[in-house]
Structure 1
Amino acid sequence: MNNNKSLFINELLIGTGLAPTPSPTRTVLGPITTRGYFMSTQHIRLGLIGAGRMGSFHGLTAARHIPGASLAAIADPTPGQAARLAAELGVSKVYTDPQQLLDDPDIDGVLIAAPARSHAELVISAARAGKGIFCEKPMAITLDEADRAIAAAADARVPLQVGFNRRFAKSFRTAHLDVAAGRIGTPQLLRSLTRDPALNNPAASPQWVIFLETLIHDFDTLRYLNPGAEAVQVYVMADALIAPDYKNKGFLDTAVVAIRFDNGAIATAEANFQAVYGYDVRGEVFGSAGMLSMGSLNESDLVRYLAQGIQADTQRMDTDLLRDAYIAELNHFVDCLRSGAKPLASGEDARAALAIARACIESFETGKAVTL
């Protein structure tokens, strides 16, 4: 067994208070999909495609954190990858071909955590197989891919949810509701940021990852915090300050994006891959009647006031900082499988965030503002 993978799974289990036993069933409504009605108490069987870092985390969540559901199968084309994770989580069905998992009649919904460039085709294949779909962001790399993925899910009448986890973080969710209720008046300025503690190997990273895979979270967050508004103009300033040799290959590590919305609000999104102090995710909405601020990188509310100064422990990984949100989004996915409700982070939301990301690439290449 891969020691790093084993340690990763063990670390996820520590402090969760979750025993490796089947979760109790809860009673909710049932949807109409191509698979027919789910009984309100029917156990939901999930399949995982992709057994890397995020796949491992989603797999653990599905196996331990979702009442009335379980992880029934894992697929990953990398030799031994799915089998190792399956052994950790007690999953009996292992596939090297994702299509085999999609063809499994015992699987009700799939969690797609494969490399981003494969997401759209996997969504389309899953829809054609009649499976409910949870897909990690980005759902697609091009707008054409996004349109085909959305159409496939609509044609198959299956739910399509995308992994925009900040919508499920308590502070961001509350801020969204406050803005929608008019508690801070009319939104005028918004801000969302993601700062990652470490730079991944740029040689192995896909082109434009800062826009398509990192800032896409912030683009969705800004839309979420400005309910009903859509981006109309984008301007980017970005660079490769950490790994300058890779700038001409489309690997940027530092970016600030200015976005104008159709309700007049102006927003900024920023990202960096060298936050040595910890994983940093924050948001802010300034309105005509007040301001909302959300997000903390602290591990807890403990602050030490010592002779050496003020100290606070920080989180180093997104799966630690936003653990509860990750768990909540998969519980929501299972609820949507049962109720037939449209997910709170839909395929259309993913397309809108992707449109901003694609405009960012154009703005960086041309040095000009881009109208959406």
Structure 2
Amino acid sequence: MKTKTINWGMIGAGDVTEVKSGPAFQKVKDSRLVAVMRRDEEKVRDYALRHGIQKWFTDAQKLIEDPEINAIYIATPPDTHDTYAIAALEAGKDVYVEKPMVLSVERAKKLVAAVHNNKNKLSVAHYRREQPYFKKIKTLLEENTIGKPQMVLLQLANKPLTGTALQDPKIKWRLDPGQSGGGLFHDLAPHQVDLMYYFFGAIKEVCGISHNQTGLYQADDVVAGQILFQNDLLFNGTWNFNAFEEIDNCQILGSEGKLSFSIFNKQPIELINQDGTASFSFEPLTHVQQPMIEAVVAYFKGEGSNPCSVEEGLEVMKVLDTLTGKQ
């Protein structure tokens, strides 16, 4: 039997797709990026020509309905994720949707229902799950190298955006809760929260507080919260987007040791336990989403499990909404 090829149509062609994801669709086995959509005709044509994509559209529905395409990658701002995902599912196409999955828990539940009501598949782009760096952390946890995990301490701090950055269209939409869901927290925290869910499983309780400390834009710029997992592990997280210094640090404290690592800067993983100290380093990936896209292609072909389901995306949205006071 001839191997099924996943022929992708991509909706949205912004900076995030230039290196992080777009080229990877052409490099993964049995995967082809055959079409791209953006409302600006000049920009979408330029993108297609530069990346060797044979078709381009300015109408998302026309791309979705193209008979050559059997899977849709949604890389637009989050306010349109569910609209395009539901349209693609109803057209009989599998879907790979960027994070945050949608704007709110309410909309996430509607997307869950749409997946259940249609025969096609959906995966969420919480792509760090499939990167070797984070898979190593999961393996170290499963091997009980730190005993029973008891507590996570996570800190993320970024320096304030400059006046120029605040006016940059590539950044400006991320600061608009109507488009992004909740500013830089909603842009970055989904990766962190999803990794905790990936590492530790079901969540029991969530509480938190968020605040717009500087008033530079509409979204809250400081967030603090706690998650109690069903396995009794307690997570403490703080996010500050107007800090004096940059911090990207996560520590998992266990009954017999400690793991220290970063989420975005990819510092070497440090393991400290009764055997001493060990460090694990990984080469940076050219296309950070390529391992995830490989897993998604395998899932769409029926050769693997879903690397991140719509239900898991809903759990992440519940945490984001609770920490920012939306529910």
Shared fold (TM-score, shorter chain, > 0.5):
yes
Partner AA of 1:45 in structure 2:
N
1:191–1:225 Cα change, 3 Å: farther
Structure 1 residue 180: Cα displacement = 3.6
**Could you tell me whether the CA contact under 8 Å between 2:159 and 2:244 is conserved in 1?**
yes
Change (3 A) 1:237 1:154: closer
Equivalent residue number for residue 41 of structure 2: 79
184, 191, 204: which one pairs with 1:217? Answer: 191
Aligned to 1:206: 176
How big is the shift at 1:102? 0.7
TM-score (norm 1): 0.72
Aligned residues: 300
Secondary structure of 1:264 counterpart: coil
The residue number in structure 2 matching 1:159 is: 121
Match for residue 93 of structure 1 among 55, 61, 65: 55
Q: What TM-score, normalized by structure 2, do the two folds share?
A: 0.81
- Cα distance 1:340–1:152, how it changes in 2: closer, same or farther (>3 A)? farther
Matches within 5 A, 1:34-73: 41-57=3-19, 58-63=21-26, 65-73=27-35
- Other-structure match for 1:354: 317
Q: Distance in 2 between matches of 1:237 and 1:152?
A: 31
Contact 1:192 1:270 in 2 (8 A): yes
Q: Secondary structure at the match of 2:176?
A: coil
CA pair 198-87 structure 1, distance change in 2 beyond 3 A:
farther
Does structure 1 residue 266 correspond to structure 2 residue 217? no
SS state at 1:184 partner = coil
* Change beyond 3 A, Cα 1:269–1:218: farther
Q: 2-side partners of 1:193 and 1:171: how far apart? A: 19
Call closer, same or farther: CA 1:129–1:245 in 2, change over 3 Å. Answer: same
Residue matched to 2:272: none
For structure 2, the 5+ residue unaligned runs are 269-282
Question: Contact between 1:74 and 1:95, CA under 8 Å: does it hold in 2?
Answer: yes
Distance in 1, matches of 2:292 and 2:228, equals: 28
Is 2:251 the partner of 1:289? Answer: no
Change (3 A) 1:93 1:299: same
Q: Distance in 1 between matches of 2:143 and 2:223?
A: 32
**Alignment check: 8 A CA contact 2:156 2:249 kept:** yes
> Would the alpha carbon gap of residues 296 and 125 (structure 1) be closer, same or farther in structure 2, given more than 3 Å must change?
closer
8 Å CA contact 2:158, 2:245 repeated in 1? no
| Counterpart in the other structure of 1:334 | 297
| CA deviation after TM superposition for structure 1 residue 352, in Å | 0.4
Q: How many Å apart are 1:143 and its aligned residue?
A: 1.8
- 2:102 — aligned with what? 140
Bigger mean CA deviation after superposition, 334-343 or 47-56: 334-343
Among candidates 213, 219, 222, match of residue 240 of structure 1: 213
Shift of 1:179: 2.5
Q: Secondary structure at the match of 1:94?
A: strand
Taking the aligned partners of 2:115 and 2:86, their CA distance within structure 1 comes to 7
* CA shift for structure 1 position 333: 1.0
- Residue 257 in 1 paired to residue 257 in 2? no
Number of the residue aligned with 2:279:
none
CA contact (8 A) 2:210 2:324 kept: no
What SS class does the counterpart of residue 201 from structure 1 fall into?
Answer: helix
% identical aligned pairs:
24
Whether contact under 8 Å (2:197, 2:203) holds in the other structure is yes
Structure 2 CA distance for aligned equivalents of residues 113 and 133 of structure 1: 11
Measured after TM superposition, the shift of residue 46 of structure 1 is: 0.9
Shift of 1:340: 5.6
- 1:218/1:269 contact within 8 Å kept: no
1:195 deviates by 4.8
| Distance in 1, Cα, partners of 2:147 & 2:259 | 11
